[in-house]
Chain A
Amino acid sequence: DARVTQTPRHKVTEMGQEVTMRCQPILGHNTVFWYRQTMMQGLELLAYFRNRAPLDDSGMPKDRFSAEMPDATLATLKIQPSEPRDSAVYFCASGLVGLEREQYFGPGTRLTVT
């Protein structure tokens, strides 16, 4: 049963702390996306990678957010320092070049910054 996994599922932290979210894409998928979902802004694309190379991170606040793919089975999203306005659900999704019609979402990380 191939699926995208994300850890942690929930994270509560204090303002100013570093937060790292991890994602394991579906084996064989070569494109990975990070989204942020809030009630006010909906689903926003933060960054995406193809074959581990960043293609677009224009949706990401560069001063505090960073996204990487150290290898094909791991994508990370870091926030340093975190702020209360970063509270949201962060989704990772993966897909296949040639099957751009659909993306497979992970269960999300619910982040609360106090």
Chain B
Amino acid sequence: GQSLEQPSEVTAVEGAIVQINCTYQTSGFYGLSWYQQHDGGAPTFLSYNALDGLEETGRFSSFLSRSDSYGYLLLQELQMKDSASYFCAVRDQAGGFKTIFGAGTRLFVKA
């Protein structure tokens, strides 16, 4: 089967750093994406890793280890507006778009 595992909830304090992990088991792998979704809103793209290593985009970074089938999203200098759900997603079809989403991690940022 195909599955993505991520924690259901994470709580952190404003200004802190938080890491959201994602492990995957899929028939193929061609990239790991991260999306943010606020309550009542649509998912928006944050970051993508196709190769091992760290990708940095402002306060957000994403890491991938293909040998471990593992990735994480790192959020630095947390702000209240970062309270949202974060989804990891695997693209499992070369040259295609078929994407499998994890169940999402609800991040609560406290003052």
**Cβ distance B22 to chain A, nearest Cβ, rounded Å:** 13
Q: Which residues of B, 43-62, contact A by the 8 Å Cβ criterion?
A: 43-45, 48, 50
Q: Which residues of A, 52-99, contact B by the 8 Å Cβ criterion?
A: 55-56, 91, 93, 95, 97
Known: A42-B102, A42-B104, A43-B87. A33 touches B43 (CB 8 A): no
B87 near A102: Cβ-Cβ < 8 Å:
no
A78 to B45: give the CA distance in the assembly, Å: 27
A102 to B87: give the CA distance in the assembly, Å: 13
B1 is an interface residue with CB less than 8 A from chain A: no
B97 near A31: Cβ-Cβ < 8 Å:
yes
B107 is an interface residue with CB less than 8 A from chain A: no
Partner of A103, one of B45, B50, B96, B103: B45
Contacts of A48 in B (CB 8 A): 97-98
B42 near A100: Cβ-Cβ < 8 Å:
no
Contacts of B33 in A (CB 8 A): 101-102
Contacts of A105 in B (CB 8 A): 42-44
A102 near B43: Cβ-Cβ < 8 Å:
no
B91 near A100: Cβ-Cβ < 8 Å:
yes
B99 is an interface residue with CB less than 8 A from chain A: yes
CB-based nearest B residue for A43: B101
Contacts of A100 in B (CB 8 A): 30-31, 91, 95-97
Contacts of A97 in B (CB 8 A): 95
**Cβ distance B92 to chain A, nearest Cβ, rounded Å:** 11
A62 to B96: give the CA distance in the assembly, Å: 22
A103 to B34: give the CA distance in the assembly, Å: 11
B42 near A103: Cβ-Cβ < 8 Å:
no
Contacts of A25 in B (CB 8 A): none
What 5 A-B pairs come out closest when comparing CB atoms? A102-B45, A101-B48, A105-B42, A43-B101, A42-B103
What are 7 sample pairs from A and B whose C-beta atoms fall under 8 A apart?
A33-B97, A43-B104, A44-B101, A55-B96, A91-B43, A95-B97, A100-B30
